[in-house]
Structure 1
Amino acid sequence: MLPEEFVPLSRFFRGTVPEVGSITALFEGVCPSTGQTLTLPRTELAELAARRLIQLLPESEPKMFGVLLVRTERGEEGVLRAFSGKLNGSFHHPGWVPPMLELSPSILEISTKQRLEEMKRQLQELAKSPLYRDRHMVRSRWEEQSKALEKRLKGRKKGRDLHRAAGFSEEELAAQSKHDSREKREFKKNMQAALEPIRQVEEKIGTLKAERKSLSRALQAELHERFEVELWREAPWSLASLFPAGPPTGTGECCAPKLLHFARLHHLKPLALAEFWWGESSLERQRGEFYPPCEERCQPLLGPLLTEAALRIPVVYHDAHLLVVDKPSGLLTVPGRQNWNQDSIINRLEHEWGELLPVHRLDLETSGLVILARDPHTHGRLQSQFAERSVKKVYQAVLERLPTSTSGEIKAAVQGKSSTSLFRLLDEHERRVELEPLTGRTHQLRVHCARDLQCPIQGDTIYGSGGGARLKLHARLLEFEHPISGAPLRLETEVPF
């Protein structure tokens, strides 16, 4: 069934459909998975459709409007219409395509993030307070004094026992015992009074952390609910890969991405696009004139939205307890904390496999094997193996330069924490190496290659010169014990570069 936003050309033009005519402009984009340049024309027919739409438009706030000529799977041609941003205060109007993703934060998201930031500030202040900073030293001193007092009191009691056996006055010995009891009570009272402020700070920190965890979960649930996973499930790209630092404000609200995304979602083939400015003219835009998709927000999306490629995340191993997948480059392992970076292997796979718990993660740009647990018990046992460093992880990478040695061990701190990696040259001509991290720091292999080998990984936009279609780093092998049966598992995947 065709969506209500699809208007057949014959109905749109009220009878005879004009000829397609010539191409008046050509828009280009690059497919993120194949690197192929894809094109979409503006044709005379698309411009006529735009002129027809202008006749139907009331005078309103100045903005871009657009039409996309499309063809259904049965060969019927029609028109889709869109406006940029909001029209009369709303993103949604009958007959017009909706935004590809509503990136504007909800009231709940705004208030929750504000509260989380305030809690973060409070936790930082509490952690820096002298009471919390010196808590271990203060407790240690009181414990030492407590042990010393216990020792003195035991010595006195032993002396009283000897005196009692020797016939000393019971009244005098009883008075000494009462004195020791008072001294012990007074010491405990003083110690509790000294440690109570520390306990209160720790309790406040614990309460804040528990509230933060609860709020974070609620926020994640809100973001997940707003994220329409059906729109992205087989797309060979993600917003996080196209805009690593986050999409500019208004991304997905312009005409071209709205139209192309809607067409893709409903299996409509784009034929031609025409975008025009309607309303009062400005310095950059003239009323009724045609314009190409904007460079900042729309151009990066053209290729991804025009591609017909689909993406299925390969499942390398699965059973009742766990799943091991071959994560593609450009897709997050888990959802992020913004509404634009919810797309992840977790969200894409949960519709088929149910709830999945990530045991470890790979960077957005890194591809390769990722273990996902299917229940909390399995998750805990697998995480223990990673914590004990009993999981073997082997990567392949292509470097920008040839390392000076063919193999070796890198022992150098990453983010202030001790880190160790092994490397071995596989192909001198390709500058291909095998990497094995013995610790698991963030960006460990990328830092060790760039900083310690002086050979950044190809495509590394953070530690190298960037360039190329992707970061050439792939997790190709995992060896670990099955968390339930204890059987050894060795899983491998092909290197895609």
Structure 2
Amino acid sequence: MPTQQQHISQGYCQNCGRDHTLGMAEAEKHCYELMKHLEEHRTIDLFPANATRDPQLSTDFLFGEARGKMFGILTCRTREGARVNLRAFSGQFNGRWQVPGWAPPLFNVEDMESLTADVEKTIKRMGREILHPDCSRQQQQDVRRQRRELSRELMKEIHSLYRLFNFRGKEETIFTAYIGQNGIPNGTGDCCAPKLFSLAARKNLIPLGIAEFYWGRENSSKTRDHGRFYPSCLEKCQPILGFMLCGLEELHAAINQ
């Protein structure tokens, strides 16, 4: 059985010079309820139209070649005292960034699609060039180098679309919020915790607890198992969660007075 101390979201904030953390609290219980729903209904479609669930939101693919993904719940309190639960899945779900009832990404999806469409076509074309039988070894090396440079530039532009919010009403780009040492990894900001905290901050909610679990076939590196809880990841989440959690202690102190 996971404990609140074992599975927390945490990070260091360079703005205030403090570590910020949030444990599981009641979020663990609500995650078990979500697991039960996923087990029984095999879908993340929480609001089906006319009782017909969207087949693209089935969880079956998580147990195949695509493998599983992380899910998370953030329990919150409104300023008036009502309880609210927010849900998130990591990254995209079967190619979708947005699903009703789930936290959105940290960027405008239309802006992302506009930015990536043409560049991704070019990158795929370069891949075909490399595999062409008439492409010499030197040409292959040149195209691979150009493709790497293009991919790096695209990732910088993608990261520029992300907007992070915290509980002091502050907004940062991922470039200014990230405090890791070795550059910003691909996928930073796409995990459950950043999605949940950003949504809570924008909705003026006060987070009380967070829990994240893995659902589906184990990942290729065998570090994630079906149905198990995990803390927010060290490489992608902790370097931005310090900023995102900043101000939460003061909110907790205010509601406990």
Do both share a fold (TM > 0.5)?
yes
Among candidates 6, 11, 15, match of residue 33 of structure 1 = 15
The 2-side partners of 1:243 and 1:289 are apart by 27
Among candidates 243, 246, 257, match of residue 307 of structure 1 = 246
Asked whether the equivalents of residues 107 and 163 of structure 2 are also in contact (C-alpha less than 8 Å), the reply is no
Q: Which residue of 1 aligns with 2:195?
A: 258
Among candidates 214, 219, 238, match of residue 173 of structure 2 = 238
The 1-side partners of 2:239 and 2:163 are apart by 21
Cα offset, 1:281, TM superposition:
2.8
Relative distance call for 1:285 and 1:228 in structure 2 (3 A) is: closer
Q: Which residue of 1 aligns with 2:45?
A: none
The 2-side partners of 1:243 and 1:257 are apart by 12
Asked whether the equivalents of residues 164 and 172 of structure 2 are also in contact (C-alpha less than 8 Å), the reply is no
Relative distance call for 1:24 and 1:228 in structure 2 (3 A) is: closer
Asked whether the equivalents of residues 32 and 236 of structure 1 are also in contact (C-alpha less than 8 Å), the reply is no
Deviation digits for residues 450-496 of structure 1, max 9, x if unmatched? xxxxxxxxxxxxxxxxxxxxxxxxxxxxxxxxxxxxxxxxxxxxxxx
The 1-side partners of 2:9 and 2:108 are apart by 25
TM-score with structure 2 setting the length: 0.60
Asked whether the equivalents of residues 162 and 173 of structure 2 are also in contact (C-alpha less than 8 Å), the reply is no
Q: Which runs of 5+ in 2 are unaligned?
A: 43-58, 63-67, 123-156, 249-257
The 1-side partners of 2:164 and 2:245 are apart by 18
Asked whether the equivalents of residues 236 and 304 of structure 1 are also in contact (C-alpha less than 8 Å), the reply is no
| Structure 1 segment 448-467 matched on structure 2, within 5 A | none
SS in 2 for 1:42: coil
| Structure 1 segment 148-187 matched on structure 2, within 5 A | none
2:95 is the counterpart of 1:89: yes
Q: Which residue of 2 aligns with 1:267?
A: 204
Q: Which residue of 2 aligns with 1:185?
A: none
Identical counterparts, % of pairs: 37
SS in 1 for 2:23: strand
2:230 is the counterpart of 1:291: yes
Cα offset, 1:106, TM superposition:
3.0
SS in 2 for 1:273: strand
Cα offset, 1:105, TM superposition:
4.6
The 1-side partners of 2:69 and 2:164 are apart by 29
* Higher share of residues assigned strand: 1
Q: Which residue of 2 aligns with 1:106?
A: 113
Cα offset, 1:78, TM superposition:
1.8
2:71 is the counterpart of 1:70: no
Asked whether the equivalents of residues 73 and 87 of structure 2 are also in contact (C-alpha less than 8 Å), the reply is yes
RMSD of aligned Cα (Å): 3.3
Deviation digits for residues 33-77 of structure 1, max 9, x if unmatched? 11112110112x221110000111214311110001111111111
The 1-side partners of 2:78 and 2:165 are apart by 18
| Structure 1 segment 293-442 matched on structure 2, within 5 A | 293-308=232-247
SS in 2 for 1:90: coil
Among candidates 211, 216, 224, match of residue 279 of structure 1 = 216
Q: Which amino acid aligns with 1:100?
A: L
The 2-side partners of 1:237 and 1:63 are apart by 27
Asked whether the equivalents of residues 102 and 252 of structure 1 are also in contact (C-alpha less than 8 Å), the reply is no
SS in 2 for 1:48: helix
The 2-side partners of 1:261 and 1:98 are apart by 9
Instruction: Choose 1 or 2 for highest CA Rg.
Output: 1
SS in 2 for 1:264: helix
Asked whether the equivalents of residues 31 and 307 of structure 1 are also in contact (C-alpha less than 8 Å), the reply is yes
SS in 2 for 1:88: coil
TM-score with structure 1 setting the length: 0.32
Relative distance call for 1:246 and 1:111 in structure 2 (3 A) is: farther
Asked whether the equivalents of residues 31 and 303 of structure 1 are also in contact (C-alpha less than 8 Å), the reply is yes
Deviation digits for residues 211-244 of structure 1, max 9, x if unmatched? xxxxxxxxxxxx8xx9587969952643112348
SS in 1 for 2:196: helix
Relative distance call for 1:75 and 1:280 in structure 2 (3 A) is: same
Q: Which amino acid aligns with 2:232?
A: P
Kindly tell me the number of residue pairs found equivalent between the two proteins: 179
The 1-side partners of 2:240 and 2:21 are apart by 12
2:32 is the counterpart of 1:56: no
Deviation digits for residues 261-320 of structure 1, max 9, x if unmatched? 1111111111111000111234211111100111111111211111129xxxxxxxxxxx
Q: Which amino acid aligns with 1:29?
A: G
Asked whether the equivalents of residues 33 and 237 of structure 1 are also in contact (C-alpha less than 8 Å), the reply is no
Asked whether the equivalents of residues 79 and 205 of structure 2 are also in contact (C-alpha less than 8 Å), the reply is yes
